[in-house]
Amino acid sequence: MTILQTRRRFLASAASAAALGGLSTLLPALIPGAVRPAWAAAPLRLAVERRVLEVMGKPASVFGIRQPDGTSGLFLDPGQRFLVDLANRAGEDAVIHWHGMTPPYAQDGVADANRPLIRDGASQGYDFEPRPGTHWMHSHHGFQEQRLMAAPLIVRTVEDRREDAQEVTVLLHDFTFKDPAEVLAGLTGGTMDHGDMNHGGGHGGGHGGAMPMMNHSMDMKGMGDMKGMGGMTMAAMDLNDVEYDAYLANDRTFDDPEVVRVERGGRVRLRLINGATSTAFHIELGALDGTVVAADGNPVQPVTGRRFGMVMGQRLDILVRLPDEGGAFPVLAQREGERQRTGIILATPGATVNKVAGLADGAAGPVDLSLERRLTALASLAPRPTDAAFTIRLTGGMAPYVWTIDDRPFGEHRPLTVLKGQRVTVTMVNESPMAHPMHLHGQHFQVAALNGTALAGAVRDTVLVPMNGSATIAFDADNPGRWPLHCHNLLHMATGMMTELVCEQTI
């Protein structure tokens, strides 16, 4: 729509946000391109659209976030500003969260009392300095994320440019032909009122077999992976709530995978994004040795291996070197607790590309903290005393299907309130029967303790809190606003596992 309309929306939101006291000082950041001088760079254009995706031979109506040339998401070069005009052509209201960015509060891409949804047919401008690294963008409204309203958001650094590695970005997803609201209704027994979560309406593309998986059966062939679970039995483990119809890597399954042409002896920087709504994956590199060099876009001390866990919302940058003799090398993502897998194939010129089965021989174990424990930030937080320490409990469960924080669903939550400039720690203690990938908006944090053991872990924005476990995160609150802190399992967030970090501006 027109700039005028967009600008009017901004002004309207400014008026309502003025009631927020200290936060109203943030509002100048909202002003979009209307005040930009004529010589400034033109905004990059992105549109939220509907599209038809063929999954296992069946068409499905899904969303996409694309540039005019069809590129999914954004790839910014060093020094480039996040100057974006986002058009909503989804056929319904939407809002896109820039996951991993640390923009001013008003531009985070979450609708709340101060920040309206982008109406169908309207546009919104964004202008902030992007945070380097492998990030992504996704709807933060209703169940749109389940219907693939998600895309990569890559911000390259000068060092990335120098390292002479081919960039290969992989966005993972879990896919259902069902209306996501039906999937949740199957879990809750349809007893909960989720009217406000269901903006999807009818879902084209047939009637697939996504069924709520209440019995959590697991393939026992995976027992070999279960070592180190502290004697926990399989029956006590609760890994996956939903049986999906497919698992996607860049929108494709192993029926018809993406084959990326790479050089013999060449180096590849895999930018892996777990964009699934409810699925943790094990990344399997097969014959290739990988070196993790960044977590959630932040550099880490290099960690080598061939198998790395990734929970929902997380990103890993992994460097691999192709052998001089070349060949075809699948990069696999296997669903935790199960045999299903997806992925892409790296292939050198002339290599024979064999079919990769969509089911692994054995089930994978759970994604745990084994990688997290090995990660160390290249740039740790400066040592200083903590000004504000919080402990929250991750609560709720399967029956009824309600997930909460401190036994309170979002809406009845108690925000964690801090002042700008404070050193903050938040210890998340998991008292619920599932693991939760916890994501904080607005700032990245350092993982400061896992299960009570202190460490100078990765700086990141999403951390796994395993069942019976805990994680402590630390950060300097430097970004005023009301920032969601939530589980990145969409179904858990939808039923209530979300609170807010309120960072108040001091004068």
66 binds Cu ion (CB under 5 A): no
Given a contact cutoff of 8 angstroms between Cβ atoms, the answer to whether 480 and 20 are in contact is: no
Contact map string, positions 230 to 259, toward Cu ion, x by CB under 5 A: ------------------------------
Please choose, out of 11-19, 295-303, 417-425, 486-494, the segment that lies near Cu ion by the rule CB under 5 A: 486-494
Coil, strand or helix: which one is 263?
Answer: coil
With CB under 5 A, what is the number of residues at the site for Cu ion? 4
Compute the distance between CA of residue 203 and CA of residue 362 in angstroms, rounded to an integer: 33
Q: Which is nearer to Cu ion, 72 or 489 (CB)?
A: 489
Compute the distance between CA of residue 507 and CA of residue 503 in angstroms, rounded to an integer: 13
Smallest distance, Cu ion to C-beta of residue 312, A: 9
Q: Which is nearer to Cu ion, 76 or 494 (CB)?
A: 494
Residues in Cβ contact with 13 at an 8 Å cutoff, skipping those fewer than 6 apart: 30, 106, 114, 115, 116
Q: Which is nearer to Cu ion, 252 or 492 (CB)?
A: 492
Binding residues for Cu ion restricted to 311-340, rule: CB under 5 A: none
Q: Which is nearer to Cu ion, 250 or 489 (CB)?
A: 489
Please select the residue that binds Cu ion; options are 115, 147, 436, 439, rule is CB under 5 A. 436
Q: Which is nearer to Cu ion, 305 or 397 (CB)?
A: 397
Given a contact cutoff of 8 angstroms between Cβ atoms, the answer to whether 110 and 484 are in contact is: yes
Binding residues for Cu ion restricted to 394-423, rule: CB under 5 A: none
486 binds Cu ion (CB under 5 A): no
Q: H/E element holding 317?
A: strand 315-321
Please choose, out of 130-138, 252-260, 446-454, 479-487, the segment that lies near Cu ion by the rule CB under 5 A: 479-487
Establish whether the linkage from the previous residue to 385 is cis, with ω within 30° of 0: no
9 binds Cu ion (CB under 5 A): no
489 binds Cu ion (CB under 5 A): yes
492 binds Cu ion (CB under 5 A): yes
Please choose, out of 257-265, 420-428, 434-442, 463-471, the segment that lies near Cu ion by the rule CB under 5 A: 434-442
Please choose, out of 27-35, 186-194, 420-428, 433-441, the segment that lies near Cu ion by the rule CB under 5 A: 433-441
Compute the distance between CA of residue 247 and CA of residue 411 in angstroms, rounded to an integer: 32
Smallest distance, Cu ion to C-beta of residue 432, A: 8
Smallest distance, Cu ion to C-beta of residue 214, A: 16
CA proximity to 152, closest of 269, 250, 241, 51 = 250
Please choose, out of 11-19, 202-210, 263-271, 490-498, the segment that lies near Cu ion by the rule CB under 5 A: 490-498
Smallest distance, Cu ion to C-beta of residue 492, A: 3
Distances (CA, A) of 151 to 63, 274, 375, 462: 10, 11, 26, 17
Compute the distance between CA of residue 155 and CA of residue 101 in angstroms, rounded to an integer: 10
Smallest distance, Cu ion to C-beta of residue 488, A: 7
Smallest distance, Cu ion to C-beta of residue 110, A: 18
Smallest distance, Cu ion to C-beta of residue 487, A: 3
CA proximity to 256, closest of 178, 183, 343, 172 = 343
Distances (CA, A) of 407 to 112, 163, 415, 430, 496: 22, 48, 14, 12, 9
Smallest distance, Cu ion to C-beta of residue 146, A: 15
Smallest distance, Cu ion to C-beta of residue 278, A: 9
Between strands 498-504 and 416-419, the pairing is: parallel
Please choose, out of 83-91, 261-269, 464-472, 489-497, the segment that lies near Cu ion by the rule CB under 5 A: 489-497
Please choose, out of 28-36, 321-329, 440-448, 485-493, the segment that lies near Cu ion by the rule CB under 5 A: 485-493
| 52-55 own/partner pairs: CB under 8 Å, 24+ apart | 52/204, 52/205, 53/148, 53/251, 55/175, 55/177, 55/205, 55/245, 55/246, 55/248, 55/253
Please select the residue that binds Cu ion; options are 487, 494, 498, 501, rule is CB under 5 A. 487
Between strands 242-243 and 436-440, the pairing is: unpaired
Smallest distance, Cu ion to C-beta of residue 465, A: 9
Compute the distance between CA of residue 345 and CA of residue 328 in angstroms, rounded to an integer: 7
Q: Which is nearer to Cu ion, 132 or 396 (CB)?
A: 396
Coil, strand or helix: which one is 91?
Answer: coil
Coil, strand or helix: which one is 3?
Answer: helix
Q: In the numeric block, which tokens belong to residue 25?
A: 């000082």
Given a contact cutoff of 8 angstroms between Cβ atoms, the answer to whether 239 and 336 are in contact is: yes
Please choose, out of 327-335, 342-350, 414-422, 430-438, the segment that lies near Cu ion by the rule CB under 5 A: 430-438
Q: Which is nearer to Cu ion, 176 or 376 (CB)?
A: 176
Residues at the interface with Cu ion (CB under 5 A): 436, 487, 489, 492
